[in-house]
Amino acid sequence: MSQEYVFGWHAVDAILKRQPERLQQVWIQTGRQDKRVKAITDALDGLGVRWQVVHRRELDDRVSGVHQGIVAAVGESREWTEDDLLAMLAAREQAPFLLVLDGVTDPHNLGACMRTADAAGVQAVVVPKDKSASLTPVARKVACGAAETVPFVRVTNLARFLREIKEQGVWLIGTAGEAKATLYQADFKGPVALVMGAEGKGMRRLTREHCDQLINIPMAGHVDSLNVSVATGVCLYEAVRQRTG
């Protein structure tokens, strides 16, 4: 059976609560005897999932990253396809609210974007299959469970996908430092996809050309840009303000 590793308390707990059928085995660092450990081990016992207390070195050998004393082996999740997302958009009653990440390659940034997307009510996060981070164990840990709640869709041809959702009436708002309009002049209230560019380079040319509107985040200090995950959070919560106002 194919498997992958998930680590960190939030990430493992999210699997336990939302996709328990994927759990195969769990390892917990020796010395942990708090309520959090008891709650998870009791739940694992109830599911009949094997768990084991091991030395930290064994956890270090299994994953690279700050595992926080817990690692789980899980079956691979079914990856959403482009067709799945297009079907969901066609059937959904509420206005689409998507996040598109064009070339975000740092798994920490991807995980942080997923976490904020979940909090903001984003219906799916879309990335290109090439030159983009995937949902690695590190990204899942940073996402704090959001990787198990927000559909993550990797598309073969991002430009083509953007054309397809535009045909479904989705307005594409892209971020660019040189844009004339600011974030606060954009209209996020209808069917919308926020398009964020890669760390440092921004959006690729074809992606930029498919956007209906380009906006910038006003910068009053000496630095000229924000980390992509921070910028994503700023933009998504302006959208939330408008969509719930």
Q: Is residue 197 marked as binding?
A: yes
Question: Does residue 232 contact residue 116 with C-beta atoms inside 8 Å?
Answer: yes
| Assigned token pair, 36 | 């959090």
- In the block, residue with structure tokens 């630095």: 223
Residues 25 and 121: their CA atoms lie apart, in Å, by: 31
- Looking at the DSSP assignment, which residues form a beta bridge with residue 55? none
DSSP of 169-195: TPEEEEE-TT-SEEGGGS--SSSEEEE
3-class state of residue 80 by DSSP? strand
Q: Is residue 23 marked as binding?
A: no
Q: Is residue 70 marked as binding?
A: no
Residues 54 and 106: their CA atoms lie apart, in Å, by: 30
Question: Residues marked as binding for S-adenosyl-L-methionine?
Answer: 197, 217, 226
Known binding residues? 197, 217, 226
